[in-house]
Amino acid sequence: MQAIYDELIPGKAVWDFCCDHGYLGIHALKSGQFPQIHFVDQASHLVHRLENLWREKRHESPEHVNAYFHPYSGEKVLNEIHGTAVIAGVGAHTILQIVEEVMAKNLLKADRLILCAQRDEELLVVTFASNTSLCSAYNCTKELSVLERGRIRKLLIFDRKGT
């Protein structure tokens, strides 16, 4: 999680797709470095739990930070996505489905994408290299190897061209 957090762009929104228990978003929220945190997960009970926790502990968070809760799968997002979009902890097929759907709806305006697949990592690299609309919008600027629970995971950082 720390490796992902370290790549977020301070002063910009954070979109935590497939957020699960919201550890990344909560850490970003508490830091006060990001004006908006968006929690997105298809497990609506987890998102509602995070929202209730936010309401209970709102007084402990910086006043200038806003949290938004999206209890549905990432590809169903209807808002423009700005700042940093993080999709981690799911397979490459799910990551690609989310990215392709939000791009098709012209909603992906993020300055940075941070992607970390639990499986089929190479599929991300190959697909980004061959997808014309993704390649025209983003460059892979960094690849990190991160040790997670005894397994090496590839963390891919894509920055929007021209930013």
pLDDT digit string, tens, across residues 6-24: 999 999 999 999 999 899 9
Domain range for 123? 2-160
pLDDT value at position 112?
97
pLDDT value at position 90?
94
pTM of the model: 0.92
Q: Cα separation of 133 and 102, whole Å?
A: 12
Closest to 160 in 3D by CA, of 136, 132, 124, 127: 136
Domain count, the chain: 1
CATH number (domain holding residue 144): 3.40.50.150
Location of structure tokens 């301070």? 10
Per-residue pLDDT for 97 more than 70? Answer: yes
Q: Which neighbouring-strand residues pair with 143?
A: 156
Per-residue confidence band for 163, with pLDDT thresholds at 50, 70 and 90: low
Distance of CA 23 to the CA centre of its chain: 12
Per-residue pLDDT for 81 more than 90? Answer: yes
Q: Which neighbouring-strand residues pair with 66?
A: 36
